C-alpha cells in the first residue's frame, strides 16, 4: 500500500490549490495530498484508491459546491472509506450547517475560511483527525476477503461481527463467479465457507468468532493478568464505565462477547439522546465512545465471553471462554439483555437464514424490493422499521399489543405514521416460520380472533422482550426470578444484609450481593431501559468503585 491519502475537495481552483499547498508543506513526507474539483470527481478517486488498497486518512470538503455539496459528498464517502476522518471547509455564514453535519453524518470537525495562519487554524484540527484515524483498526485489514453463502447462518455471523466492529472487508457470494474464483485461489471449496483470506494470503476456513477477530486485528487477549477494574459488556453502560474508569486513572479492561455498542449499537438512528438533536446512529455513537475509552487508556477485548466470576479474598477473578483468567480489585457488570427467542416452529432452523434478532444491518441491501416483517413494539423495532423502509418494498410491524403508543416513543410513532411503505398490525404474533434452507413464509395469528394467516416473507427481524445475560453468574451474585441483578437497597430484607456480605456497611446503590462487584445498565433489576440512563449508571458505578477502593 502507498502512503495514506489526505483528499481535499473544492470547486474553486484557487482555494483548492491553497489547501493542498498548506497540507503538503506540513504532511507531505508522511502522506499523499490529493485534490478534486467536485464531489463526483472525488468519489471516483476514492473508488480507485479503494480498488488499489490505498488507505484514505482524511477528507476535507468545501461546503458550497454545485451539484453535490460538501455534506452530501462526506455522507456518500462514508460508504467507500468508513475509517477516514471527515472535515467540512465552510464560511462563517454556514457554521450552523457545519454543526448540523457533525450530528447528521458524523463529521469530525469544520474549518472556517480563511484558515490563516494554518499553524493555528488548520494543522491542529488535521492532527486530531489523523490521531483518531491511526487509533482505529489496522488499515491493513482493508484487503480482507470474506466468502460465504447468502443464506448461511455462519456466513451471516462472520459478516455481522466484522460490520459491527467497523472492520472493512470485501464480501463475495460463493455461488457467484467472483466468489468461486476467490475460493479456487484459496484452495477452498463451497463446503468450507465462510472462508476468510487475509492481506498476507492466510486462509481461514469457517473460523470461530475469536479467531476471526484476531486475524483482522481486533484485540482478543488481555495484556495483563490483574487490573483495577474489569468491565463486562460493551454497550452504552459498559462503555460509559470504561471511559470514566480509564479517565480517572484506573487500569481498566472491557470484555465484550460480540461488538461494542450492544443493542444500542445496532440502532439505525437514536433521536432522543442528549446533545444530538438531529439523531445519531447507534454505530456512530458506539464508535465515538470506543475511541474515547481507548484514548484514555482503556483496554478492549472483543469476541471474548466471561463464563465465571469468583471471589478470591479481595480479588475478583473472571474466567474467559478460552480458559484464561483475569483478576481485578473491582468489576462492573454491564452485560445488557438479549432479544428473547420467538420460540415457535421453524424459527430456530432459519435463524441467520432470513430470521434475525436485532437490526442485522448487513442484510439491508438484500431487502431491496422485498416485503420485510419486524416483530416488536418498542423503540428498537420502530427504529428498525424506519431504517429498512429505505430499502424494502414494504415494512410491516407485527405488534402484540393493541397500539404502538403504549410502548414506543411518540416521535417514532409519528415518523412511522408518515412513511407510506410502513404498515402496523396490532394484536398480532408470529406462530411459525417456513422455508427450505431460508425463510420463505411466516404464519401470523390475530390475538383477538385466533385466526391464522400465512404470508410470503424473506426477512423477519425480531425485537421482543429482553433476557438478561446472567446465567454465568449463578451462585456468584444474587439474581431475581427473571435473572436480573438487584443492587443496593433492593438487597436488604427487613434491614438485613445479603447472606455472605462481609463488610461493615450496606451495599452501595449499584453494588451487588458481592462487595466490589457493581451493575450498570439494562441487566440491573428495575433499570430504566434508555441509552442515557445506561451511560449515567456506567459513570456512577465508577464513582462507587472509587469509594469501594478507598475503604479497603
Q: What is the pLDDT of residues 498-531, one digit of tens each?
A: 888 989 999 999 999 999 999 999 999 999 888 9
C-alpha cell at 265: 449499537
**Where in the sequence of the chain do the CATH 3.40.50.2300 domains occur?**
5-136
3-state secondary structure 190-229: HHHCCEEECCCCCEEECCCHHHHHHHCCCCCCCCCCEEEE
pLDDT tens readout for residues 94-140: 666 666 666 566 778 878 888 889 898 899 999 999 998 988 754 44
Helix (H, G, I), strand (E, B) or coil at 114: coil
Angle among Cα 142, 147, 150 to the nearest 5 degrees reads: 120
CA distances from 406 to 210, 375, 378, 403 (A): 40, 15, 9, 6
What pLDDT is recorded for position 353? Answer: 93
Task: State the fold for domain 347-462.
Answer: FAD/NAD(P)-binding domain (3.50.50)
**Where in the sequence of the chain do the CATH 3.50.50.60 domains occur?**
226-338+467-551, 347-462
**Is 3.90.850.10 the CATH number for 140-215?**
no
Nearest CA to 7 out of 24, 233, 243 is that of 24
Contacts of 312 (CB under 8 A, 6+ apart): 327
Strand 422-425 relative to strand 394-398, pairing: parallel
In this prediction, what percent of the chain has a pLDDT beyond 90? 61
Residue with cell 466492529: 165
CA distance 158 to 178: 19
Strand 56-62 relative to strand 109-112, pairing: unpaired
Task: State the fold for domain 226-338+467-551.
Answer: FAD/NAD(P)-binding domain (3.50.50)
DSSP 138: P
**Where in the sequence of the chain do the CATH 3.40.30.10 domains occur?**
140-215
3-state secondary structure 458-475: CEEEECCCCEECCHHHCC
Task: State the fold for domain 5-136.
Answer: Rossmann fold (3.40.50)
Give the burial class of 170: count Cβ atoms within 10 A of its Cβ; 0-12 exposed, 13-18 middle, 19 or more buried. middle
Q: pLDDT digit of tens for each residue in the chain (552 aa)?
A: 568 999 999 988 898 899 999 999 999 999 999 999 998 999 988 877 865 667 899 999 888 888 888 888 888 888 778 889 988 888 765 666 666 666 566 778 878 888 889 898 899 999 999 998 988 754 444 578 899 998 999 999 999 898 888 888 889 999 988 888 888 878 888 889 999 988 777 889 999 999 999 988 899 999 999 999 999 999 999 999 999 999 999 999 999 998 898 888 777 778 888 888 877 888 888 889 999 999 999 999 999 999 999 999 999 999 999 999 999 999 999 999 988 889 899 999 999 999 999 877 778 878 888 999 999 999 989 999 998 998 899 999 999 999 999 889 999 999 999 999 999 999 999 999 999 999 999 999 999 999 999 999 999 999 997 789 899 999 999 999 999 999 999 999 767 888 889 899 999 999 999 999 999 999 999 998 889 999 999 999 999 999 999 987
Nearest CA to 136 out of 243, 361, 359, 286 is that of 286
Helices and strands (DSSP H and E) totals, the chain: 15, 26
CA atoms within 13 A on the CB side of 144: 25
Amino acid at each position: 500500500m502507498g502512503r495514506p491519502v489526505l483528499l481535499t475537495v473544492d470547486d474553486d481552483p484557487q482555494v483548492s490549490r491553497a489547501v493542498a499547498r498548506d497540507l503538503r508543506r506540513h504532511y507531505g513526507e508522511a502522506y499523499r495530498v490529493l485534490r478534486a474539483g467536485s464531489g463526483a470527481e472525488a468519489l471516483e478517486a476514492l473508488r480507485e484508491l479503494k480498488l488499489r488498497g490505498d488507505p484514505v486518512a482524511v477528507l476535507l470538503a468545501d461546503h458550497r459546491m454545485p451539484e453535490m455539496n460538501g455534506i452530501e459528498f462526506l455522507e456518500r464517502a462514508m460508504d467507500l472509506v468508513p475509517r477516514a476522518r471527515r472535515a467540512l471547509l465552510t464560511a462563517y455564514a454556514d457554521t450552523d450547517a457545519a454543526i448540523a453535519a457533525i450530528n447528521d453524518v458524523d463529521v469530525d470537525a469544520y474549518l472556517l475560511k480563511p484558515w490563516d495562519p494554518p499553524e493555528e487554524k488548520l494543522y491542529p484540527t488535521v492532527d486530531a483527525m489523523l490521531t483518531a484515524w491511526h487509533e482505529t483498526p489496522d488499515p491493513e485489514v482493508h484487503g480482507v476477503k470474506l466468502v460465504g453463502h447468502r443464506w448461511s447462518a455462519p456466513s451471516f455471523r462472520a459478516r455481522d461481527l466484522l460490520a459491527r466492529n467497523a472492520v472493512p472487508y470485501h464480501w463475495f457470494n460463493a455461488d457467484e463467479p467472483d466468489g468461486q474464483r476467490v475460493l479456487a485461489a484459496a484452495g477452498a471449496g463451497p463446503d468450507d465457507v465462510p472462508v476468510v483470506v487475509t492481506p498476507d494470503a492466510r486462509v481461514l476456513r469457517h473460523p470461530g468468532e475469536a479467531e476471526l477477530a484476531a486475524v483482522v486485528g481486533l484485540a482478543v487477549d488481555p495484556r495483563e493478568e490483574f487490573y483495577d477494574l474489569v468491565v463486562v459488556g460493551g454497550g452504552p453502560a459498559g462503555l460509559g464505565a470504561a471511559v470514566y474508569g480509564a479517565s480517572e486513572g484506573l487500569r481498566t479492561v472491557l470484555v465484550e462477547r460480540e461488538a461494542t455498542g450492544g443493542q444500542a449499537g445496532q440502532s439505525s438512528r437514536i433521536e432522543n439522546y442528549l446533545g444530538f438533536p438531529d439523531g445519531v446512529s447507534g454505530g456512530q455513537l458506539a464508535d465515538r465512545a470506543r475511541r474515547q475509552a481507548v484514548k484514555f487508556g482503556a483496554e478492549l477485548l472483543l469476541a471474548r465471553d466471561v463464563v465465571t466470576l469468583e471471589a478470591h479474598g479481595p480479588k475478583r477473578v473472571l474466567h474467559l471462554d478460552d480458559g484464561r483468567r483475569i483478576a481485578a480489585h473491582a468489576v462492573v457488570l454491564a452485560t445488557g439483555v438479549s432479544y428473547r427467542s420467538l420460540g415457535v416452529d421453524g424459527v430456530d432452523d432459519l435463524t441467520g437464514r432470513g430470521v434475525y434478532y436485532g437490526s442485522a444491518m448487513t442484510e439491508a441491501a438484500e431487502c431491496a424490493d422485498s416485503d420485510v416483517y419486524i416483530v416488536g413494539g418498542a423503540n428498537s423495532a420502530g427504529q428498525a422499521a424506519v431504517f429498512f423502509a429505505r430499502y424494502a418494498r414494504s415494512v410491516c410491524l407485527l405488534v402484540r399489543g393493541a397500539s404502538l403508543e403504549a410502548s414506543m416513543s411518540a416521535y417514532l410513532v409519528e415518523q412511522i405514521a408518515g412513511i407510506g411503505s410502513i404498515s402496523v398490525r396490532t394484536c398480532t404474533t408470529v406462530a411459525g416460520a417456513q422455508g427450505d434452507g431460508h425463510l420463505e413464509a411466516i404464519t401470523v395469528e390475530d390475538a383477538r380472533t385466533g385466526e391464522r394467516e400465512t404470508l410470503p416473507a424473506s426477512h423477519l427481524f425480531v425485537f421482543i422482550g429482553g433476557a438478561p445475560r446472567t446465567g454465568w453468574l449463578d451462585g456468584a451474585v444474587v439474581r431475581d426470578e427473571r435473572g436480573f441483578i438487584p443492587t443496593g437497597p433492593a438487597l436488604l430484607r427487613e434491614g438485613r444484609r445479603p447472606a455472605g456480605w462481609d463488610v461493615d456497611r450496606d451495599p452501595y446503590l449499584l453494588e451487588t450481593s458481592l462487595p466490589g462487584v457493581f451493575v450498570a445498565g439494562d441487566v440491573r433489576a428495575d433499570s430504566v431501559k434508555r441509552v442515557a440512563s445506561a451511560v449515567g449508571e456506567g459513570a456512577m458505578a465508577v464513582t462507587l468503585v472509587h469509594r469501594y477502593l478507598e475503604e479497603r
